[in-house]
Chains A and B, each alone.
Chain A
Amino acid sequence: MSRQDDSVLPDSVPLPPPDAVSVSTACDYCIVGCGYRVWVWPEGTQGGPAAAENALGVDYPVDEASGRWISPNQHGHCMVDGRRHHLVVLPDPDATVVNPGGNHSIRGGCLAQKPWDPEGATQDRLTRPLLRVHGKLRPISWDDAIDILAQISRYVLDRHGRSAWGMKTYSYQFFENTWAISRLAFETIQTPAWAPHDKPGPGNDTAGLDDAGIVPFSASYDDWSQADVIFFSGTDPYETKTVAWTEWMMRPGIRHIYVLPRRTTGVAWAEASGGLFLQIIPGTDTILHLALARIILENGWEDTEFIDRWIAGRWEIDSGFGRGTRNTPWQWRTTWGRFGASFEEYRDWILNNPDAELSSAASVTGIPAKKILAAAEMIARPVDGRRPKASFALEKGNYWSNNYLNTASYSSLALLCGAGNRPGRVVSRMGGHQRGWYGAEAYPRVFSPEKQVGRRRKEIDLDRWVESGHLRFAWVIGTTWTQAMAASQELMDTFRRLTRGSDHQITSARVAQAVQSLKRRVDSGGMVVVHQDIYPVAPIGTEFADLVLPAATWGEDDFTRCNGERRLRLYPKFCDPPGEARPDWWIISQFAQKMGFRDYEWKSGSDVFDQAARSGRRSILNYHPLVVYAHRMGLTGHELLRRLGTTGIQTPVRWRRTLTESQAYRDYAGYVDDPSVAGAIIGTKRLHDAETDFGQPEGPTVHMKWLSAFRSHSGKGLLHKTPWEEFSDFYERIRPQGDELWVTMGRINEIWQTGFDALRTKYLRDRWPMQFVEIHPDDAQPRGIETGDLVAVENRDVLIQTGGFVGVEKGSQSFSGLMNAGQIRIGTGRYEGVAIVTTAIRPGVVWSNALNATQPPNSVVHRVPDPITNRYRFKLGKGRVTRLSESPLKHDLKQMSFRQRDIM
């Protein structure tokens, strides 16, 4: 074996020696969560190309699709016990689920570049707590940091109340952390002032789907693979749920329909494979869904057998089985009468609704009538007596343009086609980030300052709460906050005013004096910001925060979470966190103990995981039976999950005396049948599954209704009418005027989230060195814009809701009502990017990377949430696009490709 440690050349990689430490894990990034293997070994050694000389046990070179080739970006460095180590991170070549054989995305494929390397591109990780003294962040001890955090928190809670003490946190970065966060926020402090990273307040993402009784992550990837046709609304999973698409959906025989304003790689594949592209005008999806439903009903293509068995009738909608769910968001929406409908009521409403007429819909949506007709035929028309198996996938292009109406009308369309609870006939979100929220307690809605007219309280809009000056303390964990929310620049101005604009700044690192300054600030109407993250993040951490806390992340502690098919796996520690960085659960525990709160003395993430298990027993992410089973085996929950490797187990986990599920089901969903322990545990492949025999609930197993029926009162799916008037006042107001264009946005395949890792990886940064603006030639030419030019997108008409927390009079919380009451102000927003002139984007629309944190397109997005659900219409920005200059990238052959991405 070669034992020399070569300096790494661009044309070679060191191979892990046979004694390299190896662990299995899952990707840190997108919802799909591919299985990965990690090899770590000390610098100064490496393996050789013969099978016996390397840890992969294969001879190099390896052949096509071997899953064992290591590209230069799959090798990196990390620290182990204070010593620099080599690191190889490869998709698990032995994976049998999610990414069989080692398929992977470009994002996960570069995971080896992620860990902290003090000599590499990640050297700017946060390593110590920092306090802003005289405007500059300087290191302080953990003891002092926690002391300041606790003292100012105690003061704000006592003096200004729980609603003045808030948190804005990721909702996904591992169960151990989110359970600790939710325990603190919802159970112990009981603050209503909490919002997840991607929306202004808690609650459903896709309320229309939930109201239909469909769990947004009910399907397994294998279920999609059995469809004849998949209808994609507002997403091309090729872009950022890549392997779910390339592995389970890009299959011969499955036709794809895409509803997007932008032609992507997935769309190009669909069109070349017998599918359809419905290039929609942003914001008009509801009309499209209505038109499709009408065509189906006019022709009698609906799935009558399914509807008879599975769709709630009037009695089931109104009465259900008692009053138990009366006072819930679900009931507020569905019993208004305007929305909830039996099949007959829905059919009558559609057939008499002029908005659903094909010619009108074609005009509103911008989609040719014949394509709408073709789509209806593809998803519903029986051929030779056989119904097509149609599945329905949606994501943010759908629910972040017209949240309630789009998701509700989409669900109704899907249910008419018989989708929702069978293989090949599923309805689910494709997802963005992984499912990492494990709530210790429900959001304390009773304390929320918001209230719907005639209904009980609803979840807060935290951004409006901040703008109104009510929040005095904000603990921000793992998010940029301002760039991720609508009207970003206006929000940044508010933060700046409340923090750095205050007269009261810390001028001494001594705890007592620092706390005194912060107390004066909150008493004078200002706000204290704490930012907890892995990197310095602008501007929330670098400019607004008074205290910055360094967090440990993926690979630096043992963590767990689920992917988009509820697959629970361990993400184990294999390297050191940087300096004094600690996992978020540890920071929460230190703070809670300092505050005198009980039962926060966790010694490890494993402790947290086992303790958290009980909280989720009624949740789709329930893993409690796994922990019970593990304890009977003499293991911790983490230890048992470690044995399950990249297969893991699909939640909810069930304990059974004897497994009756087929071997194929067991192998897919994951199971443990240990001869030394009574019974076995098994995962759950699909929810709403009436076909699988789940038996009676046994041992610690909890059977929820949604396991074998829909998640509704009656166990049936619910149809909803979706009157366009609920949205049209806002839509008419925000449509681009004059030379304005729609500004819409999304994720781009090569970059995960804000690029906090990707943009530190030269390979990925070279691909997308800056924000970009895709614009159609018809729009570019009159503005003198060529590919490679630097352009500005400016909106001087950004609508911002300023009040309307409590609704008293009917109609007062609609957009028109808010306008009439003077509760909409007009702000501005602007961002820049390099132009890509392309026919891939619809004329009249520009498209940018939604999550670019340097030039956030959310700046030109209105901050008026959907009044039904408090969700922003992120995808419906607008602006004037002007050429600024030629960008240096125009003639640079080393960075940024301007080629079309829809080449087939």
Chain B
Amino acid sequence: MVSPDQSHSVCRPTSVGCSRRHFLEASAAVTTVTLGVLFPNRVFSEDENRSVRVVHLPRQKVGRLSELQIDQPVYFRYPDDSDLSVCMLVRTGERSGGGIGADQDVVAFSCRCTHLGGSLEQEYRSRHKVVGPCPLHLTTFDVTRHGMVVAGHATQALPQILLESDGDDVVAVGIAGLLYGRSRNDQFLSPV
């Protein structure tokens, strides 16, 4: 769980607008609950009774802060184990939107291009802090700015995996943005 203050640091402005509320919706919802119940004593008073749909995405340990080397991405699958679920965790070495860790530079993204689904695995360019160019049509994404398109054709930023730290553990807790191929992020392709 995150505090409202932390929620800002893991929230990303998505293509449809970012607010703390959006983050809560995105990382929360399938049952309908009030924010006050979901995050007791940790929401702004005007949001206490707001209802949200909660999509339960799994919490998954994806790395250890102490083991992450700058510009050395590690790959994991989230929220399930399919080919479309490959994600990248990277310490960029500079303050990054949604970054965690002492320097707010640890971020994670889906590795499927949001243009036509090309694989971006191994396409991190450390010098530029971008993912891409996608091998299909050359789209690039800025990993320090919430996966925003630098140049190219994708109609959505690269989905950002919401991270929390639990001691030294880096934990994936949700996704901001829609993963390529799905109409909802909780369309699991195989059991996790």
**Which residues of chain A have a CB within 8 Å of any CB of chain B?**
6-15, 49, 60-67, 69-74, 102-106, 109-110, 238, 242, 246, 250, 265, 269, 749-750, 762-763, 766-767, 893-897, 899-901, 903-904
A899 touches B153 (CB 8 A): no
Instruction: Confirm or deny: B137 has a beta carbon within 8 angstroms of a beta carbon on chain A.
Output: yes
With both chains docked as a complex, state the minimum distance between the C-beta of A122 and any C-beta of chain B, in angstroms.
15
When distances are taken between beta carbons in the complex, the residues of chain B under 8 Å from A106 are 149, 152-155
Instruction: Confirm or deny: B42 has a beta carbon within 8 angstroms of a beta carbon on chain A.
Output: no
User: For residue A102, which residue of chain B has the nearest CB?
Assistant: B116
A13 touches B150 (CB 8 A): no
A72 touches B16 (CB 8 A): yes
User: With A63-B181, A66-B181, A894-B97 given, is the CB distance from A10 to B153 under 8 Å?
Assistant: no
Within 8 A of A (CB), among B12-71: 12-18, 22, 25-26, 29, 53, 55
User: With A64-B119, A899-B128 given, is the CB distance from A766 to B148 under 8 Å?
Assistant: yes
B155 touches A109 (CB 8 A): yes
A66 to B128, CA, bound (A): 30
A105 to B187, CA, bound (A): 27
Consensus secondary structure, chain B interface: loop
A11 touches B119 (CB 8 A): no
Which residue of B84, B129, B177, B185 contacts A899 across the interface (Cβ within 8 Å)?
B129
Q: Across chains A and B, which 10 residue pairs bring their CB atoms closest together, nearest first?
A: A893-B97, A763-B15, A109-B155, A64-B117, A61-B181, A12-B184, A897-B142, A901-B151, A10-B14, A894-B13
Instruction: Confirm or deny: B108 has a beta carbon within 8 angstroms of a beta carbon on chain A.
Output: no
B133 touches A265 (CB 8 A): yes
Q: A13-B178, A893-B95, A897-B150 are in contact. List 12 more A-B contacts (CB 8 A).
A: A10-B17, A11-B175, A11-B179, A63-B117, A64-B118, A67-B116, A71-B114, A72-B14, A766-B13, A766-B15, A767-B149, A899-B130
- Of B140, B175, B187, chain A has the most CB atoms within 10 Å of the CB of B140
With both chains docked as a complex, state the minimum distance between the C-beta of A114 and any C-beta of chain B, in angstroms.
13
A11 touches B178 (CB 8 A): yes
Instruction: Confirm or deny: B165 has a beta carbon within 8 angstroms of a beta carbon on chain A.
Output: no
Instruction: Confirm or deny: B157 has a beta carbon within 8 angstroms of a beta carbon on chain A.
Output: yes
A110 to B154, CA, bound (A): 9
When distances are taken between beta carbons in the complex, the residues of chain A under 8 Å from B13 are 766, 894-895
B183 touches A13 (CB 8 A): yes
With both chains docked as a complex, state the minimum distance between the C-beta of B57 and any C-beta of chain A, in angstroms.
9
Instruction: Confirm or deny: B77 has a beta carbon within 8 angstroms of a beta carbon on chain A.
Output: no
When distances are taken between beta carbons in the complex, the residues of chain A under 8 Å from B129 are 899
Which residue of B26, B96, B137, B150 contacts A11 across the interface (Cβ within 8 Å)?
B26
* Contact mask for chain B residues 154-192; partner A; CB cutoff 8 A; 1 contact, 0 none: 111101000000000000000111111111110101000
B26 touches A10 (CB 8 A): yes
B175 touches A265 (CB 8 A): no
User: For residue B28, which residue of chain A has the nearest CB?
Assistant: A9
When distances are taken between beta carbons in the complex, the residues of chain A under 8 Å from B16 are 8, 10, 72, 762-763
When distances are taken between beta carbons in the complex, the residues of chain A under 8 Å from B182 are 60-61, 69
User: With A762-B15, A893-B96 given, is the CB distance from A104 to B153 under 8 Å?
Assistant: yes
B116 touches A65 (CB 8 A): yes
A246 touches B137 (CB 8 A): yes
A762 touches B17 (CB 8 A): yes
With both chains docked as a complex, state the minimum distance between the C-beta of B132 and any C-beta of chain A, in angstroms.
7
User: With A246-B137, A265-B133, A903-B133 given, is the CB distance from A110 to B151 under 8 Å?
Assistant: no
Which residue of B12, B138, B157 contacts A238 across the interface (Cβ within 8 Å)?
B138
With both chains docked as a complex, state the minimum distance between the C-beta of B84 and any C-beta of chain A, in angstroms.
6
Q: List 21 A-B contacts (CB under 8 A).
A: A11-B26, A11-B176, A11-B185, A61-B179, A63-B181, A64-B119, A69-B116, A71-B114, A72-B16, A72-B178, A73-B15, A104-B153, A238-B138, A269-B138, A763-B157, A893-B97, A896-B145, A897-B145, A900-B128, A903-B128, A903-B130
When distances are taken between beta carbons in the complex, the residues of chain B under 8 Å from A900 are 128, 150
When distances are taken between beta carbons in the complex, the residues of chain A under 8 Å from B118 are 64-65
User: With A12-B185, A103-B137, A899-B130 given, is the CB distance from A71 to B142 under 8 Å?
Assistant: no
A161 to B130, CA, bound (A): 60
When distances are taken between beta carbons in the complex, the residues of chain A under 8 Å from B29 are 9
User: For residue B12, which residue of chain A has the nearest CB?
Assistant: A894
B26 touches A71 (CB 8 A): no
User: For residue A74, which residue of chain B has the nearest CB?
Assistant: B155
When distances are taken between beta carbons in the complex, the residues of chain B under 8 Å from A103 are 116, 137
A63 to B188, CA, bound (A): 14
Instruction: Confirm or deny: B112 has a beta carbon within 8 angstroms of a beta carbon on chain A.
Output: yes
User: For residue A269, which residue of chain B has the nearest CB?
Assistant: B138
User: With A69-B117, A763-B155, A767-B148 given, is the CB distance from A63 to B140 under 8 Å?
Assistant: no
Which residue of B26, B112, B130, B153 contacts A109 across the interface (Cβ within 8 Å)?
B153
When distances are taken between beta carbons in the complex, the residues of chain A under 8 Å from B130 are 899, 903
B178 touches A12 (CB 8 A): yes
When distances are taken between beta carbons in the complex, the residues of chain B under 8 Å from A893 are 95-97, 144-146
A246 touches B153 (CB 8 A): yes
B184 touches A11 (CB 8 A): yes
User: For residue A748, which residue of chain B has the nearest CB?
Assistant: B151
With both chains docked as a complex, state the minimum distance between the C-beta of B166 and any C-beta of chain A, in angstroms.
23
Which residue of B18, B82, B152, B181 contacts A894 across the interface (Cβ within 8 Å)?
B18
With both chains docked as a complex, state the minimum distance between the C-beta of A764 and any C-beta of chain B, in angstroms.
9
Within 8 A of A (CB), among B77-108: 82, 84, 95-97
With both chains docked as a complex, state the minimum distance between the C-beta of A9 and any C-beta of chain B, in angstroms.
6
A904 to B18, CA, bound (A): 31
User: For residue A894, which residue of chain B has the nearest CB?
Assistant: B13
B177 touches A62 (CB 8 A): no
When distances are taken between beta carbons in the complex, the residues of chain B under 8 Å from A894 are 12-13, 18, 97, 145-146
When distances are taken between beta carbons in the complex, the residues of chain A under 8 Å from B138 are 238, 246, 250, 265, 269, 904
